Structure 1
Amino acid sequence: MQTVDGSTANLAGVSPSASSDLDIIGTLCRILTRSQVIISADLTTPHSCRSYLISYSVIEDEDDFSINTIIRERQEQLNAALQEISDLERVMDGIKNLHRQLIEKKDGITQSMNLHRRLVSGIWRLPTEVLSHIFVHCFPETSHISPPSKTLAPMLLTRICRRWREIAVGMPSLWRRLRLYSNEVGNRRWESIAFCYDLWLKRSRGHPLSLEVWCCSDDSNTILRGLIQPYINQISTLSIRFFPPTDKPELMLENLSALQELTICAYDSFLMPNIAQSISQLPFTMRSLKITFPVLKLHDFSAFTPLMARLTNIEVALDQMNTVPNILHLCPNLSSLTILTGVKQKMRASRPIIHTNLRSLRIAHDIWNTEHLSHLFDVLTLPNLRMFEVRYIEPSQIHALFDVLDSLPHPKSSGIDVQSWPHGDLRALIVRSNCPLKGLVFSGGVTPTDEQRAEYVALIPSLEVVVSRVAR
């Protein structure tokens, strides 16, 4: 092959691929040499200036012959230029192909280098069991994950290397939690999103599922329900948010044969009767019920009666404290109760109740209305209570939750008036219950005095009393 300086290169012993590359380079060099002749050719003629000034009538025969000769010469030059352009385009295609092959080669070299580096790295020698344990702790703090989230576990784990992908895909526990949005049904990417949802659920391989579902229109809810239908018997934990214009919330609560924990937030209080009816038909496996909105009234719980006897955990917002003894009466197996209330009316007289299974009681209340707590403490006896927490709710939170129109005065200080805190009634409850209380927590601005705290500890020396300005 001839090189740029005209010498001949010896290609003996050169691989076919390398020889082909050299051919491309040699051809390019020849084209560059020839093209310089074409590019540097002077296109000026004696007629160049005349052509714009004279008419055809004054052109003589000898001029005509000279011009025709120039035209033929230009045609030959044009043909030569077109040929060089064609040859150059062919070489450029070859260069592009060569560039692509070199990029692929570079990637292959990098991959091979990384592979061999991993072989001498400690983390890549970890047994599968150890990696599996690490993967479980890679989850984000959020309770549920919205795919496709390629930057978070477990999807991120499948993109590191083949071994990590195989381990992650083979761990059903990594694919048990998922958040689904029904408003994505109308999205132009819905097919891709639905495929991702389905692939995620398949990887759970029959293990119990924890799902969070955001429900909007009934049509989109129906489609979303159809997508999760093949996995309906795996759902053990379900959290549902109902947004208007949902009219049929019961659709998402049907045939949940393995459900154990249910959380509901219905932003339209008119949905509550249908939701209550559906809750009453939930399976015997149900153990935990949490309703963050709307606020429940006493008659709402009457619809839950078949379910209440099986529940061990309840978290609800109440419109009156008289509902608490009724809940305890309907739920003999209850071990944990969390209530939020902003009621201002005095608690009506209620029969004393002894609940032997309640271990945890948490109350969030309005700082200016503690009288109802006194009456509640008076009627309760909780011989198995281990944890009691009370915290203060800002008036603004009360208004948002209970839709109260009249405003309450904002407290002048972050602490409660110690005279209004029913210390004596809580102390009497602890004494009467003779319970193995381990933790007594005051948070969000509820601040008993040092003397009151000392009295609690005097009753139970091992008791831990925690006072925190921040609501836990």
Structure 2
Amino acid sequence: MLNALAADRARIADLDAQIRDLERSLSVLRSENSAAQERLDSYKYPVLTLPNEIVCEIFVHFLPPYPICPPSTGPLSPILLTHICRGWREIAMASPALWRAIHISGNDDLVSTFLSRSVLRPLSIHLNEWQQPFDDLAQDFLAPLLPHCARLEYLTLRLSTYFGPPLIDAVMPLLQRIDLALDNYSESPLVVLRPVPLLRAAVLNDCAAASTALPWAQLTSLTLTMMWPHECIRFCRKHPVYDGVEVTLPSLESLTLTDPPGVNEHPMLSTHLRTFITPALCKLQIQEHFLGSDPIQSLTSFISKSGCNLAHVHIANRRSVPETSYRTAFPSIPTLLFSRAGWRDSTSSDDESDSNPYE
């Protein structure tokens, strides 16, 4: 018994010695740990030393260029920038430029948040209800927008069937471009435009064109989509600058006439260029059969009647007239381009080789 007690006392003494050695080792490790942490705490990451204005500019370039609307949520949204760290969240929330382009789709409850954070910046709005019936819920998305219509610069509405009062009836003095696509005709305009002195561009599909009243004479760009050429002409003849024979577009700078998909050289198309008077026109893209049986005479007559100074003419599907004849007839046009097929054809012609106009 006494021998066992003596052995335990010796064992305890040995364990105490080992514990003291381990504690000394732990003390050294804790000291090294503390010194390493102090060095880390004292280090300033270069990106965190940037002025807030530079960080904001980087954030702006993270998003698509204005007026393109990024998604409201997800990896390409400005919301993502508020989830990185507290400092960057504060910068993002205090940067109105990040919140001025708003994409409204689905059950989106962030519209009011974006509008509030954009402060007084001009707005770009994209409402997309194209894939589902337009209902009261979608109309509710526009409710918080209406008090901010005076800030609207760019407006895109893609709407399924809707019959009702105007969705937007407000003053929009900053509006520059409107893009409307409907999948059904409406007897009354869905967007009522009060004086819009800055409006220059409009994109309308067939249903929107039949349901929209715009200040046509001040437009410099008009795009009609999902329409046959004869429908485009019928549309033009309805607007206020039509005098019964011709359509005068005094501010139009670019005009493109091409066949709709699946249609080749429709006989009705050859008379369409005569319909337009475009004194400000600078750029004309046209398929040769639009110029009729005598393309050079047709183009000469159009230029003379419009009084325009064309700087760029691209003739596609050239077949009947050599390029040299065009160049001889129109020496004052700096850029004359030709292609055998559509606008993106870079095939060289019989007479000489031309560069691709889209390069």
TM-score normalised by length of structure 1? 0.53
Secondary structure at the residue paired with 2:145?
Answer: helix
* Residue in 1 that maps onto 2:169: 254
* Residue in 1 that maps onto 2:353: none
How far off its partner does 1:177 sit?
0.9
For residue 127 of structure 2, the aligned residue among 184, 200, 213 is 213
The answer to whether the Cα contact below 8 Å between 1:457 and 1:463 also exists between their aligned partners in 2 is no
How far off its partner does 1:116 sit?
2.5
For residue 470 of structure 1, the aligned residue among 344, 350, 357 is 344
Per-residue CA distance 1:337-379 (angstroms, 9 max, x = gap) = xxxxxxxxxxxx9524555432222234244245444323234
Per-residue CA distance 1:170-192 (angstroms, 9 max, x = gap) = 332221111112x42xxxxxxxx
Per-residue CA distance 1:4-49 (angstroms, 9 max, x = gap) = x7336349999xxx89xx9xxxxxxxxxxxxxxxxxxxxxxxxxxx
Alignment of 1:373-388 (within 5 A): 373-388=269-284
Alignment of 1:342-357 (within 5 A): 351-352=245-246, 355-357=249-251
Note if 1:441 corresponds to 2:314: yes
Alignment partners' CA distance in 2, 1:109 and 1:231: 51
Per-residue CA distance 1:272-305 (angstroms, 9 max, x = gap) = 213x2x44x32212614321242745xx57xx27
Note if 1:116 corresponds to 2:125: no
How far off its partner does 1:241 sit?
1.4
Note if 1:324 corresponds to 2:196: no
Alignment of 1:274-289 (within 5 A): 274=188, 276=189, 278-279=190-191, 281-285=192-196, 287=199, 288-289=201-202
Alignment partners' CA distance in 2, 1:116 and 1:210: 41
**Considering only aligned residues, what root-mean-square deviation do their CA atoms show, in Å?**
4.5
For residue 303 of structure 2, the aligned residue among 430, 438, 461 is 430
For residue 179 of structure 1, the aligned residue among 98, 103, 106 is 103
Alignment partners' CA distance in 1, 2:134 and 2:308: 49
Q: Which segments of 5 or more consecutive residues in structure 1 lack a partner in the other structure?
A: 23-104, 185-192, 331-348, 392-414
The answer to whether the Cα contact below 8 Å between 1:145 and 1:178 also exists between their aligned partners in 2 is yes
How far off its partner does 1:448 sit?
1.5
Per-residue CA distance 1:438-458 (angstroms, 9 max, x = gap) = 22235xxx3225955444444
What amino acid is aligned across from residue 363 of structure 1 in structure 2?
L
How far off its partner does 1:204 sit?
0.6
Secondary structure at the residue paired with 1:254?
Answer: strand
What amino acid is aligned across from residue 368 of structure 1 in structure 2?
N
Alignment partners' CA distance in 2, 1:383 and 1:309: 12
What amino acid is aligned across from residue 281 of structure 2 in structure 1?
L
For residue 254 of structure 2, the aligned residue among 329, 353, 360 is 360
Change (3 A) 1:221 1:295: closer
Change (3 A) 1:311 1:455: same
Number of equivalenced pairs = 313
Per-residue CA distance 1:386-416 (angstroms, 9 max, x = gap) = 011236xxxxxxxxxxxxxxxxxxxxxxx98
How far off its partner does 1:432 sit?
4.0
For residue 159 of structure 2, the aligned residue among 220, 228, 242 is 242
> Segments of 4+ in structure 1 off by > 6 A?
11-14, 415-421
How far off its partner does 1:212 sit?
0.9
The answer to whether the Cα contact below 8 Å between 2:70 and 2:102 also exists between their aligned partners in 1 is yes
Secondary structure at the residue paired with 1:264?
Answer: strand
Alignment of 1:9-408 (within 5 A): 9-10=19-20, 113=40, 116=43, 118-119=45-46, 127-140=51-64, 143-149=68-74, 151-152=75-76, 154-181=78-105, 183-184=106-107, 193-194=108-109, 196-215=110-129, 216-244=133-161, 246-248=162-164, 250-255=165-170, 257-258=172-173, 260=175, 261-269=177-185, 272-274=186-188, 276=189, 278-279=190-191, 281-285=192-196, 287=199, 288-294=201-207, 296=209, 304=213, 307-317=215-225, 318=227, 319-324=231-236, 326-327=238-239, 329=241, 351-352=245-246, 355-366=249-260, 367-390=263-286
Secondary structure at the residue paired with 1:213?
Answer: strand
* Residue in 2 that maps onto 1:7: 16
Query: Highest Rg: 1 or 2?
Result: 1
Per-residue CA distance 1:207-249 (angstroms, 9 max, x = gap) = 11111112444321243233434534433322111124x333x
Q: Which segments of 5 or more consecutive residues in structure 2 lack a partner in the other structure?
A: 1-10, 346-357
The answer to whether the Cα contact below 8 Å between 2:237 and 2:247 also exists between their aligned partners in 1 is yes
Secondary structure at the residue paired with 1:137?
Answer: helix
The answer to whether the Cα contact below 8 Å between 1:265 and 1:292 also exists between their aligned partners in 2 is yes
Alignment partners' CA distance in 2, 1:370 and 1:314: 22
Secondary structure at the residue paired with 1:368?
Answer: coil
Secondary structure at the residue paired with 2:279?
Answer: coil
Alignment partners' CA distance in 2, 1:285 and 1:251: 17
Change (3 A) 1:434 1:145: same
